[in-house]
Amino acid sequence: MLFNFLKMELYRLSKMKSTYIMAVIMALVVLIYSYFILGFNLEYMMTLLMGGSVPADVTYVDPTQTEMDVFGGTDGSGSAVSGVGLFHFNTVAQTYQMNIGGLIGLLLIAIVAGLFYGNDYSTHVNKNYPIINGCRWVGYTAKTLTLMIYVMAFHVMIWILSLLSNAVWASNCDPGINAGSIIYFFLTYMVTVTIVVMIGFVTTLFKSKAAGVTFGVLVSVGTLSLPVRILDYIISAKYNLEGFSLNHFIPSRILADLTVSSERRIVIIGAVCAIIYFISSFFGSIILTKKRDLSA
């Protein structure tokens, strides 16, 4: 039955316009952002604006060429070349990490998740499925699995676009695949899924699509960063804990601060937190859906 409901939820997700709109927006964001970090001569532009002289090694791919500007130009043989962005020498994994760390992807996924989980409460279609009234966990689990597949597809798309961006604008196309980048990929996936399930919990708790979307947006836009900093300051002033930061325990901040070269302690804390938040939110939602009567 779970498999049938999974097929149904995947079909429903495939019929939601926001599924595609968010993916297209993300693709554009990744391409634009990657261009700016890889191939846009930001330093050249800033130096020009300030009226200074531009060192050739940060301005041009080919120092012998003079027909180049912030967007690149042509090299000695007449082939098009890109400019040298601040992160022109990134590996694909680093470009991917910068795109994930921007949290735009999380914001877009959060909107889809809120809309997807909240659909039951806006249309009441769940009352059409009496078959799961004896085992309501099936419905919620199918939704969560569907979103896990969507999040994975989203992350894979970001990685592929990062690869393409590197191929076009960076100095190299090195995937940068190593233990650190693989762990980074799966940990960021895990944390994103955790946030998605937390959105599901909020949606279920308040029986509202709006509540889920609002929570997702608030988490994604960094609403927590200021209070976390203040709390961090207070804690470090009071207890003098070296290396402690609340950021390491908050899923959205983990996503923003984690890098492919983060130290092992931070990675483990992130993974443990993700698992704990996932389990609490998931089973919290299951208990709520099981105990509650369906409203019509």
Partner 1 sequence: MVMSDILLETHGLTKAYNKRNVVDGVDIHVRKGSIYGLIGRNGAGKTTLMKMISGMISTTDGTFEYRGIAGGNKAAYSKIGTLIEIPAIMPKLTARENLKLKCLAYGQDDEKFISDTLQLVGLAKTGKVKAGKFSLGMKQRLGIALAMAGNPEILILDEPINGLDPQGIVEMRDMLMKLNRERGMTIIISSHILAELAKLATDYAIIDNGRIVEESTREELELKCRSKMVFKVGDARTAGAVLKEAGFEGFEVADEETINVFDGYEKAPEMNMKICNSGILVKSFLMETIDLEDYFLNTIRAGSGAVSVKEAV
Nearer to partner 1, 66 or 133 (CB): 133
CB of 288 to partner 1, least distance (A): 14
Structure token digits, residue 208: 């509202």
| Residues in contact with partner 1 by the rule CB under 8 A | 1, 4-5, 7-8, 11-12, 15, 17, 119, 123-135, 293-294, 296
Q: Which is nearer to partner 1, 15 or 264 (CB)?
A: 15
Cβ closest to partner 1, residue 95 vs residue 126? 126
Q: Closest CB to partner 1 among 7 and 265?
A: 7
Other beta carbons less than 10 A from residue 294's beta carbon: 13
Q: Considering Cα of 101, then 115, then 191, then 205, what sign does the dihedral take? A: positive
**% helix / strand / coil in the chain, to the nearest 5?**
70, 0, 25
Task: Say if CB 188 and CB 274 are below 8 A apart.
Answer: no
Q: Which CB sits closer to partner 1, 1 or 268?
A: 1
Q: Which C-beta is closer to partner 1: that of 11 or that of 244? A: 11
CA distance 65 to 78: 10
Cβ closest to partner 1, residue 96 vs residue 121: 121
What size, in residues, is the chain?
A: 296
Q: Is 64 exposed, middle or buried (0-12, 13-18, 19+ CB in 10 A)?
A: exposed
Q: Min. distance of Cβ 130 from partner 1 in angstroms?
A: 4
CB of 145 to partner 1, least distance (A): 14
Q: Give the shortest CB-125-to-partner 1 separation in angstroms.
A: 5
DSSP code for 61: S
Q: Shortest approach of partner 1 to residue 15 CB, angstroms?
A: 6
Q: How far is the CB of 105 from partner 1 (least distance, A)?
A: 25
Do 85 and 42 touch, CB atoms closer than 8 A?
A: yes
Q: 275-280 long-range CB contacts below 8 Å, 24 or more apart? A: 275/190, 275/194, 277/194, 277/197, 277/198, 277/251, 278/190, 278/193, 278/194, 278/197
Q: How far is the CB of 209 from partner 1 (least distance, A)?
A: 13
Would you say 149 or 173 has its CB closer to partner 1? 149
According to DSSP, the residues that pair with 69 across neighbouring strands are 72
Least distance between partner 1 and beta carbon 8 (Å): 4
The strand order across the sheet containing 68-69 reads 68-69, 72-74, 80-81
DSSP, collapsed to helix, strand or coil, labels residue 87 as coil
